[in-house]
Structure 1
């Protein structure tokens, strides 16, 4: 059994030649359906159809979005991933050939497809060999859209999630890329600079940049416009403390 984990960037126009070759090599695509009318599933279908590859849809297991107790967020995600392992393993056991997972952006950034396929291989009930094909990440696209370098000369870039942004600031980070945002919470960073992008690479894409205190309302309105146009919002931003 062969599995190909393929980064697809932000949609069909960002499928690289290497990713296209991997898709042509696949016998089918496995894709999760998170809800009725799942827009990201529709995009995956569009890409698979362009290369003549059928899609096997797997209802995505439920995930606790408000976890409590000792396990908290990490425990909730671990349980969700275990359920995904079982669901995908069942498909692989029934279908021979080469399967592909189409990962939004790049598989290296805040995506667990590699971990899940690795777990399937370790369980051993299905013999799995897998490889990873990189894709264009939202972080790269954000930098390109705003025409910025992501770090000052010789300085680091800290990449984290919206949930952990406050911890990063408290730890002294001053140049932070933030992904997976349920909202944009920037209390105390009003004098920092932000470069924000929502649904990058999609028709409803929006960009905002400036002093945080000056553009927060603009970002909130942009998020609402995107949600109204697409039904979903995936945004990313970089915040940087002013020098001196």
Structure 2
């Protein structure tokens, strides 16, 4: 039988690895690395560094190029579905071709695989069994770096995307927003924002304050950082000022 591990590696700091994740890496024979192009090479290098530090010889690294997603179409849901289907085909081929019976293979997933990632859904579509090793999510890293609690007493928390926030507006007093390429917090002057990018990495950026006071600075800092690195991963918490 083939054993498959989905290992959460944290938000960017190598020290985010849990003891469980370190043991899982040490037990792995084959590591599957899905690369997203030269602009995000540092994400792959972080994974390779973790493997070199914690894996046990002999092990193999199998790399593949992540399929491109159509980011120009207005049919967002269909584009994501098509991208996931092509990813599923790639994952199935990697596992079939490179993982032998009796071996353990692993995908090293940014953050926590169970919080915000497509890997589990893709593997479910292939009807594959796997074990999940939780990791420190960007949400946990964000609140830790700002020194705040994620939740408020007796209030719900809404986890959403920038796209949904832009389309539907605020839905709760406390909202965690991810994948916001268009700074959808703009104009939400009734909220305090706790924003972070490249959390846990040497490039980490942190800004907090009322949206009316720091919103423009976040947009400017974000645009410059993305232009410099070619990509950005940021997360923020919006908290109603009256809460």
TM-score (norm 2): 0.89
Q: Which residue of 1 aligns with 2:176?
A: 177
Q: Which residue of 1 aligns with 2:215?
A: 216
Contact 2:34–2:63, Cα closer than 8 Å, also in 1: yes
Contact 1:193–1:239, Cα closer than 8 Å, also in 2: yes
Determine if the alignment matches structure 1 residue 74 to structure 2 residue 80: no
Offset of residue 224 of structure 1 = 4.0
Q: Which residue of 2 aligns with 1:63?
A: 69
Q: Give secondary structure in 2 for the equivalent of 1:45.
A: helix
Q: Give secondary structure in 2 for the equivalent of 1:129.
A: coil
Q: Which residue of 2 aligns with 1:189?
A: 188
Residues 84-105 of structure 1: CA deviation (Å, up to 9, x unaligned) = 1111111111121211011100
Offset of residue 202 of structure 1 = 0.4
Determine if the alignment matches structure 1 residue 90 to structure 2 residue 89: no
Contact 2:186–2:215, Cα closer than 8 Å, also in 1: no
Contact 2:187–2:212, Cα closer than 8 Å, also in 1: no
Moved more, 21-30 or 231-240: 231-240
Q: Which residue of 2 aligns with 1:132?
A: 132
Structure 2: state its 5+ residue gaps: none
Determine if the alignment matches structure 1 residue 51 to structure 2 residue 54: yes
Q: 2:34 aligns with which of 24, 32, 35?
A: 32
Counterpart-to-counterpart distance in 2, 1:49 and 1:228: 30
* RMSD after superposition: 1.8
Q: Which residue of 2 aligns with 1:111?
A: 117
Distance 1:134 1:168, change over 3 A: farther
Counterpart-to-counterpart distance in 1, 2:228 and 2:73: 30
Structure 1: state its 5+ residue gaps: 123-127
Contact 1:205–1:226, Cα closer than 8 Å, also in 2: no
Residues 147-179 of structure 1: CA deviation (Å, up to 9, x unaligned) = 111222111110001111134535x42211001
Moved more, 101-110 or 225-234: 225-234
Counterpart-to-counterpart distance in 2, 1:44 and 1:188: 38
Determine if the alignment matches structure 1 residue 18 to structure 2 residue 24: no
Q: How many residues align?
A: 234
Offset of residue 221 of structure 1 = 3.2
Offset of residue 19 of structure 1 = 0.3
